[in-house]
Amino acid sequence: MFEDLRSAFREAYVNFNKELNREHVPETVNRLIGGMVDEIADVKAEVAHLETQIAKAVAGAENEKG
């Protein structure tokens, strides 16, 4: 049983490395990666906006506190 698992993991490892070292990337993958990059940029902008809102809320709370 463990030998079967070991063999399966080795095969998965070899296949994974083949995919990583592939010269040609399919267009679908390029589009997906581009979409992910866009989403990351959007999320970073939203996080920056949230940090600004948090800072304003903390400052407002400090002012109310005294």
Cα–Cα distance list, 9 to 6, 13, 46 (Å): 5, 6, 39
**Does 23 score more than 80 pLDDT?**
no
Report, as an integer, the average pLDDT of 55-62: 96
What is the model's pTM?
0.54
* Average pLDDT for the chain: 90
Sign of the torsion angle spanned by Cα atoms 52, 53, 56, 62:
negative
